[in-house]
Amino acid sequence: MLTIAGPATRHDAKAVHQNLSSNGGERAKTSGKHAKAPTIVIGFVGGFVRRDNAIHSPVQIAARLRSAYLSGVHVEVFENHHRQDAYRKILELLDTAHMGKLSAAEKRDARIIIYGMSWGGSETLALARELEAQEIPVLLTIQVDSIAKPSENDEVVPANVAEAANFYQANGLLHGRPQIRAADRTRTRILGNFRYDYKANSLRCEGYPWYDRVFTKYHTEIECDPAVWNRLEGLIRAKLPPVQDKNALSGNAE
């Protein structure tokens, strides 16, 4: 069990808003028959959080990745009740030949990463399953204190996912899925089910609504814990091309 100490920190909200709508690098310039699809990183916020709410870690992660990867990577955050928008965006980005239908090669060459917090963790696997139905592979899924939505399964990782990780805490009114498992262990590697404990070492979570800090205290603390999100960011970056501008590398929490 991991025990995390230290105060929570807030990243530069201004930078988040400046980067939110930036789609730099979502498509390479046409070369040969058609362009190469970017690596696609999709994030889902939890609860009823807006996709541009810069207080929340899923939004901050996306902003940092956009700043670091100016080409070849498309990063976008969605509200967890807009999964179909994320699905359509992925199909659009993969359709580099602009034929309105994906070829076998376009599906095979897809490089997709999906992460989500709370209900967003549930939508992470739901989106992966939709892609599985289309025979589209997923490089990595990451769930943070995943809370299953009604009629959704946030435990079993579909076989089109190469690697999956789960971060959770086990206390309070809302606590995440303690274990994920592979539908097919020969095709999916579970990187780990990583438990964090905030009872002994509470985080302040500045900027979060008071009712979140009171009624869903521990669920909120894992969302504002820089140790969790820096680790998540590291897993994502390991699947992305090298950063050309060293000044754009992730700044760890102060």
Least confident of 27-36, 46-55, 169-178: 27-36
* Token pair belonging to 53: 């709410």
CATH class of 12-26+34-244: alpha beta
Over the stretch 195-232, which tens digit does the pLDDT of each residue have?
Answer: 999 988 889 888 888 877 778 888 889 999 999 999 99
Domain spans of the chain, in order of start: 12-26+34-244
The pTM is what?
0.82
Residue pair 102/134 in contact by the 8 Å Cβ criterion: yes
Over the stretch 6-36, which tens digit does the pLDDT of each residue have?
Answer: 333 444 444 444 454 444 444 444 344 568 8
Q: Is 186 exposed, middle or buried (0-12, 13-18, 19+ CB in 10 A)?
A: exposed
Over the stretch 98-119, which tens digit does the pLDDT of each residue have?
Answer: 999 999 999 999 999 999 999 9
